[in-house]
Amino acid sequence: MFDATLKSHPATGEDYLAIRSRGHDLLNNPFLNKGMAFTREERITLGLNGLLPYAERDIETQLAEALEEINSKPTNLQKNIFLTALLDRNETLFYRLVHDHISEMVPLIYTPVVGEAIANYSHIYNRPRGIYLSYPDRDHMDELLDHRWFRNVDLICVTDGERILGLGDQGAGGIGITIGKLALYTICSGINPTTCLPVGLDVGTNNQKLLDDPEYVGWRHERIRGADYDSFIEQFVETVQRKFPHVYLHWEDFGKSNATRILNTYRERLCTFNDDIQGTGAVVVATVSAALKTISSRYRDQRVAFLGAGTAGVGIADQMKAAMVRDGLSEEEARKRFYLIDVNGLLQEGQDIAGFQKPYAFNPTELSSWEFDNADNITLAEVVANASPTILIGVSSQAGAFTESIVREMATKVERPIIMPLSNPTSKCEAVPDDLARWTGGRAIIATGSPFDDVEYEGKTIPLSQCNNAFIFPGLGLGVVATKPKVVSDGMIEAAVETLAECAPSLQDPNAKLLPRLEDAREVCRKIAMAVGEVAYEEQLAQVGDPHELELRIDEKTWEPRYLPYRAE
C-alpha cells in the first residue's frame, strides 16, 4: 500500500512526504524508492542505513547513469525491458527520465515497441504491476482490487487483451498496453501515477501460440464469449462503481465485437471513455482539421475512404461525420461521403456486418454507376477509382495495403491528397511515408500512427505528424479527474479536438507539422484539460468544485517527477 502522506512544513511551507514504511519495505516500493538519492538523515531515520552504499546520488547523476545504461542496450526491446525495470524500481526517476527525453523514450514505452514487449510478455515478465482479474476469480473482484498498491484511485485503464494494436489477441499480456497508456497520462498531462490503476481482464485467449506456450502467464482457456462475458464485464463495472464512485474508466484494445457495445452500454452510467474509438477519432479529426486549414479547404468538401472498418475506423468516421455536419452538411449528406472497406470489401447493406458498421453501409443501388469486378467485394482500388476520395485512412493492420497504383490513382484526382496510414506497430503500417511522397510527387499531406522521420523529397523536407492519441487522452483525462463529471460527453471530446487543432504548428507555418511536438505535450494537454473542464461545468456534469476553481483543481491534480524530502512518521 502507498504508505505516505504529502504534508507542508508549518514554518517554511516546504512540501515533504511523511513516511510510515521502513527499510526494505521502503526500498521495494517503486512509488517511494529514491535509490541512492536518500540523504544521510533519511537513511538513519527510515531504517535504510547499511542497506545502501555509502555514497549519495542526486537525481541528475541518476539520470545520467540511467541514460548511459539505456543507450548501451542493443535492441529496442531490451531498452523497453530496462525502462520497465526502472519503473518497477523507482517511479520518480523513470518519469523524470522519460519527461526529459520524451521524443526518444515514448516510442520505447509505447508504440511501436510496446507491441513487441506485449507479444513477449510471458517470456520477459518479471514483476506484477496493476491488478489481474481472471475469469476463474470472478467472484472475488472486491478482494482482488483491494490488493492494489494505493488507496485513492482517480483513473483505471482496463483491457481484455483481445485486440492489442495491430497484433490481435495477446491474452493476459495485454495488461502491458494499460501500463503504457497510464504512463502517458503521467508523462503528458502530469496525472499522479499513484492514482492510476492498470487492470487486465483475463477472460482467456484464442491465440493458439499462447495456449501452446508452456510459459504463458495467463488463464489457459479459450476466450469467454456471449452472456458469460457480458456478465463478467457487468460485474467488473458494478464493482468499480461501488469501490470508486468517481473514477474515470478508460477502456483499451477490446475486440471489434465488444468495444462499441461496451462503450454504448456504460457511457451514460459512469464516467468512461474508449480510446480506440473516441481517442483515435479525436486525434485524427484534429489532425485533418489542421491539414484542411493549411490548404484552405473545408470538412464539408471531403470524401473519405477507410481501409479497416473496425472500432477504430468507425470511431474516426463518426467524429469526422460530426465535423462535416457542424460544417453545414446534413447527416445523410455527410454519411454518403464515407467509404469504409472491411474484409469483404466496401460495406454494403445485406452483408454480414456488425451493428456499429451498419450506418456506413451503402445500398447497392447507390453504386449503380460504379465500375467494379465483383459487386459483393468492392476493393479499395475500386473505391479510389470510383469515389475519388480526398482523404485515405488506414486502420487495417495490413502492411503495404496502400499500393503504388492506388496512391497514384488518388493523386491524379486530388491536388493535395491527405493520406494517413495509422496502423500500429510500424510493421503493420499500410504504407511508408517515403513511398507516399514519391508516388504523389511530394503533394501528399501525410500523418502516420507510428513515429517516422520527416521525408526528404527532391530537395525539400515534407514534415510528418504522428497521429498519437497521447495528444488527446491525457489532457482529456486531466480535465476529467479534476472535475469528476458524471459522464464524458461528446461536447467534452469536441473541446479537446478543437483545442488540439488550434495548437497545430502548421497554422503559423504551412511547412510545419500538423501536430505539436511531444516536447510540448504538457502545455498542450493542460490547454485541453482546461477546455474539457470548462465544458464539464457548462454542461452541469462536473460533480466537484466550480468554474472559478478549475485552474486550481487542475494544478492540484498535476504531479511533477521530483524527489521530495522524507520524514519519518
Distances (CA, A) of 337 to 300, 361, 456, 497: 9, 12, 32, 21
CA 375 to chain centre: 37
Q: Check if 54 is active-site.
A: no
436 and 515 share a domain? no
Q: Tell me, what CATH number does 415's domain have? A: 3.40.50.720
Q: Rounded to an integer, what distance in angstroms lies between the CA atom of residue 216 and that of residue 546?
A: 49
Residues 284 and 350 in one domain: yes
Same domain, 542 and 396: no
Is residue 267 in a domain? Answer: no
DSSP for residue 32? T
DSSP secondary structure letters along 501-531 = HHT-GGGT-TTS-SS--GGGHHHHHHHHHHH
Q: Which of 387, 396, 388 is nearest to 414 (CA)?
A: 388
CA distances in angstroms from 536 to 48, 174, 281, 443, 552, listed in the order given: 46, 32, 20, 40, 15
CATH code for the domain of 48: 1.20.1370.30
Looking up cell 482500388, which residue turns up? 381
**110 catalytic per annotation:** yes
> Is position 163 annotated in a ligand binding site?
yes
User: What global pTM score does this model have?
Assistant: 0.93
Q: Say what the pLDDT of residue 1 is.
A: 55
- The reply to whether 78 and 50 lie within a common domain is no
Question: Do 355 and 462 have their domain in common?
Answer: yes
Instruction: Determine if residue 252 is labeled as part of a ligand binding site.
Output: yes
Q: Which of 95, 110, 248, 299 is catalytic?
A: 110
Q: Are residues 92 and 240 in the same domain?
A: yes
Which cell is 68 given?
Answer: 548511459
Q: What is the grid cell recorded at 204?
A: 482467456
The residue from 411, 446, 467 where one domain ends is: 467
Residues 405 and 424 in one domain: yes
34: containing domain? 4-57
Residues 426 and 529 in one domain: no
| 3-state SS class at 40 | helix
Within-domain flag for 527:
yes
In 3D space, the residue among 564, 565, 559 whose CA is nearest the CA of residue 183 turns out to be 559
Asked, for residue 491, whether it belongs to a domain, the answer is yes
Domain end: 432, 452, 467, which one? 467
Phi, psi of 46 (to 5 degrees): -105, 15
The answer to whether residues 187 and 136 touch, using CB atoms and an 8 Å cutoff, is no
46 is written with which cell numbers? 527510515
Cα–Cα distance measured from residue 341 to residue 361, given in angstroms and rounded to the nearest whole number? 10
What is the per-residue pLDDT for 510? 85
Say whether 276 counts as a known binding-site residue.
Answer: yes
Say if residue 125 is exposed, middle or buried (CB neighbours under 10 Å; 0-12, 13-18, 19+): middle
Strands (E), 386-474: 391-394, 418-421, 445-448, 455-457, 460-462, 465-466
Quick count: other Cβ atoms within 10 Å of Cβ 440? 23
Catalytic residue selected from 34, 79, 181, 428: 181
Residue 177 neighbours by CB under 8 Å, 6+ apart: 114, 118, 159, 161, 164, 165, 252, 253
Would you tell me how many other CB atoms lie within 10 Å of the CB of residue 41? 12
Question: Interior CA angle at 47 toward 42 and 52, to 5°?
Answer: 75
Q: Are 311 and 504 in contact (CB under 8 A)?
A: no
Q: Both 210 and 85 in a single domain?
A: yes
Q: Do 182 and 49 sit in the same domain of this protein?
A: no
Please indicate, yes or no, whether residues 175 and 282 belong to a single structural domain of this protein.
Answer: no
pLDDT at 87: 97
| Domain assignment of residue 233, yes or no | yes
**Domain-embedded: residue 419:** yes
CATH number at residue 163: 3.40.50.10380
Q: For residue 89, is it within any domain?
A: yes
The answer to the question of residue 172 being in a domain is yes
- Domain check: are 77 and 21 in the same one? no
**How many folded domains does the chain comprise?**
4
In a domain, 421, yes or no: yes
**Per-residue pLDDT tens listing for the chain (569 residues):** 567 888 988 888 889 999 999 999 999 999 999 999 999 999 999 999 999 999 999 999 999 999 999 999 999 999 999 999 999 999 999 999 999 999 999 999 998 899 999 999 999 999 889 999 999 999 999 999 999 988 899 999 999 999 998 899 999 999 999 999 999 999 999 999 999 999 999 999 999 999 999 999 999 999 999 999 999 999 999 999 999 999 999 999 999 889 999 999 999 999 999 999 999 999 999 999 999 999 999 999 999 999 999 989 999 999 999 999 999 999 999 999 999 999 999 999 999 999 999 999 999 999 999 999 999 999 999 999 999 999 999 999 999 999 999 999 999 999 999 999 999 888 899 999 999 999 999 999 999 998 899 999 999 999 999 998 999 999 999 999 999 999 999 999 999 999 999 999 999 998 899 999 999 999 999 999 999 999 999 999 999 999 999 999 999 999 999 999 999 98
Last-in-domain residue among 440, 467, 494: 467
